[in-house]
Amino acid sequence: MSVARVFSVAVADVATSLRSRRALVMILLFAAVSAFIAYALVSGFAAIEREVVAALGLPAADNPCAVTATLWKSKPFMRFANGVAGGNLVFADIIGRHPLVLAYAFFMFSTVAILTLLVSAPKIADEIRTGAARYWLVRTTRGEWSLGKFLGETALVAVSLSAGSLSAWAVVAFRLPGSTGAVLLPDFLDWTARAAVYAFAWLGLFTGISHIARSGGKAVAFSIMAMIALSVWPVTLGNAAESWPFLSFVTGLDVLAPHSAMSLMWRRTPAALVRGVFHLSAISFLYAGIGAAIFRRRDI
Amino acid sequence: MIAPMAIVAKDLVKRYGKARALDGFSLSVPEGSIMGLVGPNGAGKTTWMMCVAGLLNADSGEISLFGGGAFDAAEHSGRVAILPQDSELPLEMSPRSLFRTFARLQGLSGKNVDAAADEALAAVHLEDCATKPVRALSHGMRKRVMAGQCFIGDPELLLLDEPMNGLDPEETARLRSLILAGKGRHTTVISSHNLQDLERLCTHVAFADGGRIVQSARIEDIVADGTTLEDAYLRARCGQG
């Protein structure tokens, strides 16, 4: 395998995606939605705090999120919340973090799969359908082309997430007084990186499907079906194993769903994070690899 | 002395469902020749070219390129170029960026990349719209981009499927000159319905019908004593019928 050829395919993929209106619209849309969510979160917290302050008969403070952050980070509240959560490891790890950042992280984890689907699912299938892939495939091996495309799409999703994260942070920095918001940049970037790893697992699935589907539209449809199937998969497997005990072994298959490793990405301990990164990367390569293996034998 | 063969295809069979696009298609193309591939629609010309370029998998039969095995991009990258019929170019790329990328994929580096891209742009007369996205080009211009990419890096084997379709007379003449300039250096296979063009360009010609080759010979053995390629083709078709 030629690294130079893989790199050339990846660079061309990113360049064409950024020049195409669809990818650019997706990036701008995600940035706009992120900014709106950040604005809504700050406003939401501020509204709650205004009610609390009014109920307590205290003077109103022009400092949104200050009360929530103080409460969330206070030791007595942390002890109380930990007790209620029953020693839940994820809860114990996130309790000290800024609530605004956590709320934004929840938004990121909830939407990255859709974002990844819209950005990457139809592209490879469309290039195969229109015949554009043929010009490349007499110059690169199919493995090099697939890997280059995969890396290009990974970069594109990373750019989209970063754009969303930076726009959200900019809104928070603007809305919170002084440097309160500005200092949250490392936290925003930290959660963006975690969401990017989670998105990577979905990207493997969607690019795998895109290698097999006959058109971009079908790739999107199959990707949506796969996403729904994998989302209900753990519950379905659990119910199946409960109803038919001889199927109990299938509950182990829930490791194939990206959701199964999401809780690890919320953790703070390096060991848990490394496990999560490894798990999600393995899922990504598995699905992308299956798609690429079928593509190797496919007529173009 | 027998010339070495650039392509040897033996008994290729390719099915699409119940239809047999190739039904024992056998054809040998000598190195340095310009082979014209003629036949009615559905004769298997495009399918054969795609099999030779490794884009389609034949169900059975053998293909040998340059005395070795079938197409393998790891081995043949930069040695084989194809102008596929009805294949869209990457619409967002400009001809220059496309040619530069393809030059890099073919192993060129540094200044050679720019030189190869500029040479290909000049060859198909696209210098003026080199930086426009393919999306903004007319059908004829896109066809010239398709033709130009074939000549990047001076590949040994050119597979041209209906290369003159959609070109104006001036550009058709330019492409003819380009193909003729590579005579003896490249091996070129041209699939076309324009028999006059083929008669002017080709050193060899093969008639295909029903997924197989019905006649293959040097052009001077077919076109002689006032017989045109069209006469010979029609005779071969009548002989078939």
Nearest chain B residue to A134, by CA: B55
Mean pLDDT calculated for residue range B43-67: 94
A·B CB contacts under 8 A: 88
Q: What is the pLDDT of residues B174-204, one digit of tens each?
A: 888 888 888 888 899 999 988 888 888 899 9
Instruction: Count CB-CB contacts under 10 A for residue A215.
Output: 15
pLDDT of residue B116: 93
pLDDT at B1 over 60: no
pLDDT at B110 over 90: no
HSE-up of B147 (CA within 13 Å, CB side)? 28
CA distance A291 to A293: 5
Nearest to B86 among A11, A131, A142 (CB): A131
pLDDT at A96 over 80: no
Question: Is the CB of B73 less than 8 angstroms away from the CB of A20?
Answer: no
Quote the tokens at residue B167. 């070109």
User: If residue A89 lies in a helix (H) or strand (E), which one and from where to where?
Assistant: helix A89-94
Mean of per-residue pLDDT scores for chain A:
86
Identify the burial level of B6 via C-beta atoms within 10 angstroms of its C-beta, where 0-12 means exposed, 13-18 middle and 19 or more buried: buried
Q: How confident is the model at residue B133 (pLDDT cuts 50, 70, 90)?
A: very high
Computed on alpha carbons and rounded to an integer, the radius of gyration of chain B in Å comes to 18
Mean pLDDT calculated for residue range B155-169: 90
Mutation target for A interface from B76, B88, B106: give the one with most A CBs within 10 A.
B88
CA distances from B12 to B17, B23, B48 (A): 16, 6, 8
Q: Looking at CA atoms only, how far is residue B217 from chain A in angstroms? A: 28
Return the higher-pLDDT residue of A67 and B38: B38
Q: What is the pLDDT of residues A79-89, one digit of tens each?
A: 776 666 666 67
Chain A residues inside the 8 Å CB shell of B80: 138
CA distance B93 to B139: 15
Tell me phi and psi for residue B156, to 5 degrees. -80, -30
* CB-based contact A23:B95 (threshold 8 Å): no
Nearest chain B residue to A20, by CA: B92
B221-239 in b/e form (b: 16+ CB < 10 A) is ebbeeeeebeebbeebbee
Question: Is the CB of B74 less than 8 angstroms away from the CB of A127?
Answer: no
pLDDT at A179 over 90: no
CA distance A155 to A276: 20
Tell me phi and psi for residue B157, to 5 degrees. -125, 125
pLDDT of residue B240: 56
Q: What is the pLDDT of residues A25-40, one digit of tens each?
A: 878 888 998 899 889 9
Mean of per-residue pLDDT scores for chain B:
90
Q: What is the pLDDT of residues B226-239, one digit of tens each?
A: 788 888 888 877 76
pLDDT of residue B20: 92
Mean pLDDT calculated for residue range A206-234: 91
Q: DSSP string spanning A12-49?
A: HHHHHHHHSHHHHHHHHHHHHHHHHHHHHHHHHHHHHH
Alpha helix ranges (H) inside B40-187: 45-52, 73-76, 95-105, 111-123, 139-150, 169-181
- The helix/strand count (H/E) of chain A reads as 12, 0
Q: Looking at CA atoms only, how far is residue A24 from chain B in angstroms? A: 12
Q: How confident is the model at residue A115 (pLDDT cuts 50, 70, 90)?
A: confident
